[in-house]
Chains A and B, each alone.
Chain A
Amino acid sequence: MKLSLPEKQNRNMETTQDILKSERQQSWREDLRKSMKAKERTSRERVKMLEQDPHIRNKNHTEVNVGLTEEMAIKEAQRCLDCVDPTCISGCPVNINIPKFIKRIEQGEFLESAKVLKETNALPAVCGRVCPQEVQCEASCFYVQKLKKDPVAIGHLERFAADYERNSGNISVPEVEERNGIKVAIIGSGPAGLAVAGDMIKWGYDVTVFEALHEIGGVLKYGIPEFRLPNEIVDVEIENLRQMGVKFETNFIVGKTSSVDDLRKEGFEAFFVGSGAGLPKFMNIPGENYRRIFSSNEYLTRVNLMNAANPDYDTPVFSGKNVAVIGGGNTAMDSVRTSKRLGADRSMIIYRRSIEEMPARVEEIKHAQEEDVEFMNLNSPVEYFADENGNVNKMRVQKMELGEPDSSGRRRPVPVEGSEYDVEVDTVVVAIGVSPNPLIPASMPELDVTDWGTIKVDKDSMQASIEDIFAGGDIVRGGATVILAMGDGRKAAKGMHEYLKEKVRNK
C-alpha cells in the first residue's frame, strides 16, 4: 500500500491551525462526534492496558504490556472529545495529529490511523511504548487539564495502531521520489538517524546509514530491554527503510574506520551525526572499580544486544542475587528489572531523592514495584567493599534528606551525617546518566561543541558549524528521549534537504 505525500506539504499558505480545523470539520469526524454525547465519553474510565502478571513476567523477557484489543482500543478512542483546540498536539514533541489518528481508531479504520501517525512519526510502534506520555501529550489532554481525570491513553492507542498495521502485513511504505543521485551519510542508526534516513530517502537521496555496532537501531536495541521494546518491532521499521532503499553499513565507526573527509572523497555531500550519548558515567566513590560493578550501558548491552541472558549465547553477564541499581531514570528501571529476570532475590533501586521525583516513566516505576523491586529512596551509596577476589560484596549507603531547592526548583538531596549503613550486594549497576559520544567531535576539532561535549547546531535547521554537517538526538541534547531524537532527525532532514538544494543550484 502506497501513501501519497502528506497533503499539508502542498498547502503552503495554510497554517497548521487552519489544517486541523478543516480536518476536524470533515464529515466523518463530525459524524463520530455526533454518535456519542460528550457526557457519555467523559463518564468512561480509562481502559487499562493488558499486562503480564508481575510474578510471571519478572522471570521472562517477553513484553510486559500485552496490548489493547480492537474493542478496548475503540472504547478508549471514544473517550477522546476531538477538542476544538487540541492541546494534546502541542504536548507532542513532533506534533502528531493526535485527534485524527484516535478518531480513525474510533471509526475502526486502524490502517488509516497508522497512516496518520506516520505523517509525523517515523517509529510509532516505538514511541507508543517508550515515550513519557505522562509529561507530554497525555499531560496536555483536556481530561487532565480541565477535568482532573485520567487522560486519554494516547500512548497505548498509538501502539495499538502501529502494531495493528505491522501485524496486518499491510505496512504503509511512503512514496519515494525519483532518485537524484546525491549521497548522504547518516552516522548512527538510533532513532535520530533512522528518522533522517526515512525522510531523506523519500526525497530521492542516496542514503547510507553507518552504524558502529553489528546491529542497527542504536539505543532502541542495546538500551531498551525486550520486555519494553521487542527488537523485532525495531527490525520491522528498519526493514521498511531498507525496502525504501536505505543502505546500512554495520561495524563501521565513522571517525575510525573512515573519517568524514574520507566519506566526502567517496562522494557523500552531507552528513547527519546521530552518534548519541553512550559514554558511561560513574559516581567516583571509593571502591567503584571493584569487579561486578557495571555501568548500565554495559549491563544492558550484554543482555539486550548480546543475548547474555540466553544460555545458547557466549556473552557472559554476572548478575547476582543481591543487585543494587543506582539511579532513578528509565535506564535504572530497565537495569533493575533485568536483574530480576536474571534471577536476583533482591533487586534494589538506590535513589537519592523521593519516588515522586524519579525521572523514569510512571509506567516503568509502577511495573518495577509490581515486580517486587525494592525502592530505597533517599539513599545514596558512598563506598563499596569487596571480598578477597575483588568482587563487590558490600555497599555503604548514606541516607539523604531533601534540602533547599536548587536552581531548577527541585529540592537538593543532602546527606544525613552519621546515617551510613551497609547493604550486602554482589552486583551493582550504575545508571546515573551518560555523556555524549566523543568520537565525532574528537575527529573533527573544527566542529563547535558545547562545554557538555554536545555538538552545537542551529535550532531550526540542526546544521552544525561545518556546513555539510547536521546533528540531532543525544549528541546534541546530551540526554533526551526517543521522540525528541526523532523530532531532531526530521528537522535535520529538512535542513539538509534545503542545504543540498541550494548546493545543487549553485553548482
Chain B
Amino acid sequence: MADLTTKYLGLSLSNPLIIGSSGLTDSVDNIGELERAGAGAVVLKSLFEEQIMMEVDASLREAYQNDMIYSAKSETLDYIDIHIKERTLSAYIELIKEVKNKVMIPVIASVNCISSAEWVSFANQFEEAGADALELNIAILPSDENTGPESIENTYLDIINRVRSQVKIPVSVKISPCFTNLAMMVRKIADTGINGLVLFNRFYTPDFDINNFSEKSSNTFSTPSEAGNVRRWMGIVSPRLKCDLAASTGIHNSEDLIKQLLAGARAVQVVSTIYKNGRDQIQKMLGGLNQWMDEKGYNKIDQFRGKMSQAETSNPAAYERIQFMKYFSEIQ
C-alpha cells in the first residue's frame, strides 16, 4: 500500500484529491460525507460578492413592491447591502466553524470579489472563523477593449498583495489561462510569495437556443479533454515555481490524476466527476493511483511528482508544440 500523503499550502493531506469549490462543498453534511468517502481536503463553495449584490438587488425589488417590508425612509433599507453582506458572510463564517468542528480534513475557504476592499475584509473574517487556508477565486474576463492587459494583471497582483498582507493563513489563487503571457503572469503571481496557485478556473459558458432565441448555459460539467491545457501549463510552470500547484478542470479518473501529478501538481481539485459518478469515485481514483504506484514501485508521491514536467521529461519541446503536424499526429 503506497503512501498517498502530500503537502499542499503547508497543509498535510492524506491524499492529493481535493474536492473543488462547488455545490458539493456548501454544507456541513455534504462535506462530512466527502471526508468519509476519502477526500484529502475540500474547498468550500465560493462566497461571491456578485451574488451578494444580486441578492441586494432582489431584496430591494421585493422591498419596493411589498409595502409590508420596510418603508422607503427606513435606515435599514438604505444600508440593505451591508445587512445582506453581513448576513451572507455570517452564514459562511458559521459554515466554516461548523465544518471545522465536524471534519478533520483541511478546509479551504474560497472567495470571489468585485471590489478590491472586500477581498481583505472577507479574508480576515474567514481566517478568524478557522479556515485552514484561503483560495482567491479571481476571475476577470478580458472583454473590455479599453482595459489593457497590464491593468488586469495589476488588479490580480493588488488583490493578492492586499490579502496576503492581512492574513496569516496560507493563500492560494485560482486563475484562468486568459492572459497575454501566461508564463509571465504566473511568475509575477508566484513572486508575490503566495502559497499556492490553482490551474485553472473553469468559466461558465453562455449558450443559446436556436429555436426560441433564448440564452442558456452550457457545459456545466467539464470533460476529460479539458485537462490537456491544464496538463500543458502544469508541466511548463511547475519546475519554475516555488509555490504549490493544484490542477483543476477535466480530472475525471485516476489516470487524469496521475498525469497531473506527473506534470508537477501537488494536488488536484475535482468536481464534475463526483457529480457524475458519485462520491465513490473518490476511492476509485485513489485506488487507481495506489495501484499504479505499486506497479511502478513508488512508495511516495514525491518520488514521481513532476517526472513528466518540462524540466524532467525527455521531450520538453512537446509542451510547447501547438500546431498539428504530420510527424506529431497519429492521424494521417
User: Chain A interface (Cβ within 8 Å of chain B)?
Assistant: 132, 135, 277, 281-286, 327-332, 359-361, 382, 398, 406-408, 415, 417, 431-435, 450, 452, 454, 457, 459, 476-481, 484
CB of A235, distance to nearest CB on chain B (Å): 26
- Cβ of B79 and Cβ of A459 under 8 Å apart? no
Residue of A with least CB distance to B122: A284
Contacts of A284 in B (CB 8 A): 82, 85-86, 89, 121, 125
Given contacts A284-B86, A398-B117, A407-B57, 17 further A-B contacts (CB under 8 A): A328-B75, A328-B78, A329-B74, A330-B75, A359-B72, A360-B73, A361-B73, A407-B58, A407-B64, A408-B64, A432-B79, A432-B83, A450-B69, A477-B69, A477-B71, A477-B74, A479-B74
- Cβ of B77 and Cβ of A479 under 8 Å apart? yes
Asked if B56 is an interface residue, CB under 8 A from chain A, the answer is: yes
Asked if B60 is an interface residue, CB under 8 A from chain A, the answer is: yes
| Inter-chain contact total with CB atoms closer than 8 Å | 106
- Cβ of B73 and Cβ of A481 under 8 Å apart? yes
Contact status of A286 and B75, CB under 8 A, knowing A417-B116, A432-B82: no
Contacts of B80 in A (CB 8 A): 433
- Cβ of B68 and Cβ of A477 under 8 Å apart? yes
- Cβ of A415 and Cβ of B68 under 8 Å apart? no
- Cβ of B121 and Cβ of A286 under 8 Å apart? yes
- Cβ of B74 and Cβ of A359 under 8 Å apart? yes
Which secondary structure dominates where chain A touches chain B? loop
CB of B195, distance to nearest CB on chain A (Å): 22
CB of B210, distance to nearest CB on chain A (Å): 31
Asked if B115 is an interface residue, CB under 8 A from chain A, the answer is: yes
Asked if B70 is an interface residue, CB under 8 A from chain A, the answer is: yes
- Cβ of B75 and Cβ of A480 under 8 Å apart? no
Asked if B180 is an interface residue, CB under 8 A from chain A, the answer is: no
Contact status of A484 and B71, CB under 8 A, knowing A284-B125, A406-B56: yes
- Cβ of A329 and Cβ of B68 under 8 Å apart? no
The 7 A-B residue pairs with the shortest CB-CB distance in the complex, in nearest-first order: A433-B76, A329-B75, A479-B76, A479-B74, A432-B79, A433-B75, A407-B57
- Cβ of A478 and Cβ of B74 under 8 Å apart? yes
Asked if B326 is an interface residue, CB under 8 A from chain A, the answer is: no
- Cβ of A415 and Cβ of B115 under 8 Å apart? yes
- Cβ of B61 and Cβ of A407 under 8 Å apart? yes
The CA of A440 and the CA of B147, in the complex, are separated in Å by 52
- Cβ of B117 and Cβ of A382 under 8 Å apart? yes
CB of B250, distance to nearest CB on chain A (Å): 37
Contacts of A417 in B (CB 8 A): 116
Partner of B78, one of A132, A433, A457: A433
Contacts of B77 in A (CB 8 A): 359, 433, 478-479
CB of A252, distance to nearest CB on chain B (Å): 27
Contacts of B116 in A (CB 8 A): 417
CB of A399, distance to nearest CB on chain B (Å): 13
- Cβ of A435 and Cβ of B73 under 8 Å apart? no
User: What are 6 inter-chain pairs, A to B, with CB distance below 8 A?
Assistant: A359-B74, A406-B60, A407-B58, A408-B60, A408-B64, A479-B70
Contacts of B89 in A (CB 8 A): 284
Contacts of A331 in B (CB 8 A): 75
Residue of A with least CB distance to B63: A408
- Cβ of A132 and Cβ of B73 under 8 Å apart? yes
CB of B87, distance to nearest CB on chain A (Å): 8
Interface residues of B in 120-162 (CB under 8 A from A): 120-121, 124-125
- Cβ of B76 and Cβ of A478 under 8 Å apart? yes
Contacts of B57 in A (CB 8 A): 406-407
- Cβ of A432 and Cβ of B75 under 8 Å apart? yes
Contacts of B68 in A (CB 8 A): 457, 459, 476-477
Residue of A with least CB distance to B76: A433
The CA of A359 and the CA of B70, in the complex, are separated in Å by 12
Contact status of A281 and B82, CB under 8 A, knowing A382-B117, A433-B77: yes
- Cβ of A281 and Cβ of B79 under 8 Å apart? yes
Residue of B with least CB distance to A359: B73
The CA of A444 and the CA of B124, in the complex, are separated in Å by 35
CB of A370, distance to nearest CB on chain B (Å): 21
Contacts of A457 in B (CB 8 A): 68
The CA of A281 and the CA of B86, in the complex, are separated in Å by 9
Residue of B with least CB distance to A434: B76
The CA of A434 and the CA of B77, in the complex, are separated in Å by 10
Residue of B with least CB distance to A483: B71
CB of B147, distance to nearest CB on chain A (Å): 14
Contacts of A332 in B (CB 8 A): 75
Which of A284, A328, A360 counts the most B-chain CB atoms under 10 A from its CB?
Answer: A284
Residue of B with least CB distance to A412: B81
The CA of A466 and the CA of B298, in the complex, are separated in Å by 66
Contacts of B58 in A (CB 8 A): 407
Contact status of A327 and B79, CB under 8 A, knowing A281-B86, A477-B69, A480-B70: yes
Contacts of A434 in B (CB 8 A): 75-76
Partner of A481, one of B71, B86, B120: B71
Contacts of B115 in A (CB 8 A): 415
- Cβ of B60 and Cβ of A407 under 8 Å apart? yes
The CA of A398 and the CA of B116, in the complex, are separated in Å by 13
Contacts of A135 in B (CB 8 A): 72-73
The CA of A431 and the CA of B56, in the complex, are separated in Å by 19
CB of A483, distance to nearest CB on chain B (Å): 10
Contacts of B86 in A (CB 8 A): 281-282, 284
The CA of A327 and the CA of B79, in the complex, are separated in Å by 8
Contact status of A454 and B78, CB under 8 A, knowing A286-B121, A408-B64, A415-B115: no
- Cβ of B74 and Cβ of A433 under 8 Å apart? yes
Residue of B with least CB distance to A476: B68
- Cβ of A480 and Cβ of B71 under 8 Å apart? yes
CB of A287, distance to nearest CB on chain B (Å): 11
Contacts of A450 in B (CB 8 A): 69
Contact with A along B278-314 (1 / 0, CB 8 A): 0000000000000000000000000000000000000
- Cβ of A277 and Cβ of B75 under 8 Å apart? no
Partner of B71, one of A382, A452, A479: A479
CB of A206, distance to nearest CB on chain B (Å): 29
The CA of A477 and the CA of B124, in the complex, are separated in Å by 33
The CA of A454 and the CA of B68, in the complex, are separated in Å by 10
The CA of A315 and the CA of B77, in the complex, are separated in Å by 32
